[in-house]
């Protein structure tokens, strides 16, 4: 069976023939959901195309065409469905944006999956073999995990060395942001903790040293993660992990993470977004946040933060100053606005020349300014060491800066 799986891109990052791909190589990673699908297609001819690095052309030569649609990629998805319709080839859409449509998809959608596509892929494949695709496939809310297939993607323009793992499936986002979280959209409040022997087996099978742990918060189940990292300590891998503000309740766990090879901790919205207004007017709280960041850095761990801001916020310069005072290493900012349904919707704001302090993108512009980066590169080896600075801080910082200056809204 010949299967085409397409990773859609938003308009800002779609590949244009004759020009190099937009975005830093470090972040041009294979799509993780499509990588999991590839693991399920052992006996099939599986073709992965990514709109960030190549142009997609409609063809009737496939038995099944799938396309992953994230937030902000709806127009690209519409173009693809219409192009393939001209050659009488249906396209099954899946992904966070498709699931968020619920029972009200756009009128141009012909086939779609609500939820985790790996849970219903066997049914989709059978229907495709019999040329009887259903307009809707509803995946159960039961968390599912499939080990991704590595090495997918167009070389050398994509970072095919990128490795991930996931110990726990399920959402750990604040309630106000859950509707933007793929884990919540797929599984609601359900959670799945994988068996420890299963996790260890997967880690041992990974050829590379660097692993990005996709779990949303490693402090949700501290005993579970403590036991796992105590074992993983022996395998000398380098980890990037996500954590909530409750991480600082477990100083022994932080020390274990450092010894187990954790190089980057991304603090989620519970660290700063939830207390942003208070931190802007409270020097005491700012100092407390600073000391927490310094504690992690004293363990030779680089610190990133994920921040969700509304475009109606008027204090973007003050926010940029706060981020500087806390002395973070990385900042991933996304901007939202209140929609007619009362929920927050993502707004893809990007860089443009002559940014002003009142512009939302000023927060990124100031944090990733060349002068700020050089200052960070000079000061940080004293805290995290020369290796972490050279191998992680400098390349990641320059990659974030490149993505921002090239007009990409994420990460």
pLDDT interval class at 313 (50, 70, 90): confident
Look at residue 243 in the predicted model and tell me its pLDDT: 97
What per-residue confidence (pLDDT) applies to 206?
A: 95
Secondary structure in 3-state letters for the chain: CEEEEEECCCHHHCCCCCCCCCCCHHHCCCCHHHHHHHHCCCCCEEEEEECCCCCCCCCCCCCEEEEECCCCCHHHHHHHHHHHHCCCCCCEEECHHHHHHCCCCCCCCCEEEECCHHHCHHHHHHHHHCCCCCCEEECCCCCCCCCCCCCCCCCCCCCCCCCEECCEECCCCCHHHHHHCHHHHHHCCCCEECCHHHHHHHHHHCCCCEEEECCCCCCCCHHHHHHHHHHHHHHCCEEEEEECHHHHHCHHHHHHHHHCCEEEEEECCCCCHHHHHHHHHCHHHHHHHHHHHHHHHHCCCEEEEEEEEECCCCCHHHHHHHHHHHCCCEEEEEEEEECCCCCEEEECCCCCCCCCCCCCCHHHHHHCCHHHHHHHHHHCHHHHCHHHHHHHHHHHHHHHHHHHHCCCCCC
**pLDDT for 110:** 96
Rounded percentage of the chain residues whose pLDDT exceeds 70 = 100
Mean pLDDT of 394-406: 97
pLDDT band at 354, cuts 50/70/90? confident
Q: Output the average pLDDT for the chain.
A: 95
pLDDT band at 338 (very low <50, low <70, confident <90, very high): confident
Q: Give pLDDT tens digits for 261-270.
A: 999 999 999 9
pLDDT at residue 340, as a whole number = 81
pLDDT recorded at residue 314 = 79
pLDDT of residue 410: 81
Give the pLDDT mean for 135-142.
97
Band the pLDDT of 341: cuts 50, 70, 90: confident
Mean pLDDT of 34-50: 96
**pLDDT (tens digit, 9 = 90+) per residue, 196-207?**
999 999 999 999
* Closest residue by Cα to residue 268 from 304, 299, 302, 310: 304
Would the pLDDT of 333 be above 90? yes
Candidate from 146-150, 214-218, 407-411 with smallest mean pLDDT: 407-411
Please state the rounded mean pLDDT for residues 133-147: 96
pLDDT score, position 235? 94
Judged against a pLDDT cut of 80, whether residue 114 lies above it is answered with yes
Mean pLDDT of 42-54: 96
Distance CA 225, CA 98 (A): 32
Unique residue bearing structure tokens 């990673």: 29
Bond prior to 407 in cis (omega within 30° of 0): no
pLDDT one-digit tens code per residue, 181-199? 999 999 999 999 999 999 9
Q: How far apart are the first and last CA of the chain?
A: 35
Distance CA 142, CA 187 (A): 6
* Whole-angstrom distance, CA of residue 61 vs CA of residue 55: 17
Per-residue pLDDT, 233: 94
Q: Are 336 and 344 in contact (CB under 8 A)?
A: yes
**Which tens digits make up the pLDDT trace of 69-98?**
999 999 999 999 999 999 999 999 999 999
């Amino acid at each position: 069976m010949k299967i085409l799986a397409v990773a859609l891109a938003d308009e800002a990052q779609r590949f244009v023939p004759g020009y190099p791909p937009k975005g830093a190589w470090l972040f041009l990673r294979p799509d993780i959901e499509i990588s999991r699908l590839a693991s399920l297609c052992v006996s099939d001819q599986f073709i992965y195309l990514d709109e960030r690095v190549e142009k997609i052309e409609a063809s009737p030569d496939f038995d099944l065409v799938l396309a992953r649609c994230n937030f902000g990629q709806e127009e690209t998805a519409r173009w693809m469905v219409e192009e393939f319709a001209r050659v009488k080839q249906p396209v099954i859409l899946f992904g966070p944006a498709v699931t968020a449509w619920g029972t009200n998809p756009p009128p141009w959608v012909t086939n779609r999956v609500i939820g985790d596509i790996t849970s219903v892929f066997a049914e989709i494949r059978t229907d495709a073999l019999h040329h009887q695709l259903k307009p809707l496939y509803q995946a159960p809310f039961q968390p599912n995990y499939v080990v991704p297939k590595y090495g997918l993607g167009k070389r050398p323009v994509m970072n095919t060395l990128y490795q991930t793992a996931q110990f726990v499936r399920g959402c750990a986002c604040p309630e106000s942001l859950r509707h933007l979280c793929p884990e919540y959209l797929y599984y609601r409040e359900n959670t799945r903790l994988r068996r420890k022997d299963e996790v260890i087996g997967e880690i041992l099978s990974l050829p590379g040293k660097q692993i990005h742990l996709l779990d949303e918060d490693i402090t949700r189940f501290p005993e579970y993660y403590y036991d796992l990292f105590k074992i993983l300590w022996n395998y000398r891998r380098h980890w990037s992990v996500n954590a909530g503000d409750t991480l600082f309740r477990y100083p022994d766990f932080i020390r274990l993470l450092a010894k187990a090879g954790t190089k980057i901790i991304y603090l989620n919205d519970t660290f700063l977004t939830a207390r942003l207004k208070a931190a802007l007017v409270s020097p005491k709280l700012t100092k407390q946040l600073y000391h927490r960041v310094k504690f992690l850095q004293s363990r030779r761990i680089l610190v990133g933060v994920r921040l969700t801001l509304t475009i109606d916020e008027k204090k973007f310069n003050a926010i940029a100053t706060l981020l500087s005072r806390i002395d973070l290493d990385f900042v991933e900012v996304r901007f939202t606005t209140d929609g007619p349904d009362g929920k927050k919707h993502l707004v893809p704001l990007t860089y443009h020349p002559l940014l002003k302090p009142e512009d939302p993108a000023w927060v990124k512009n100031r944090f990733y300014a060349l002068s700020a980066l050089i200052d960070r590169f000079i000061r940080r080896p004293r805290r995290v060491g020369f290796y972490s600075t050279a191998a992680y801080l400098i390349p990641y910082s320059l990659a974030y800066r490149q993505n921002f200056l090239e007009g990409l809204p994420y990460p």
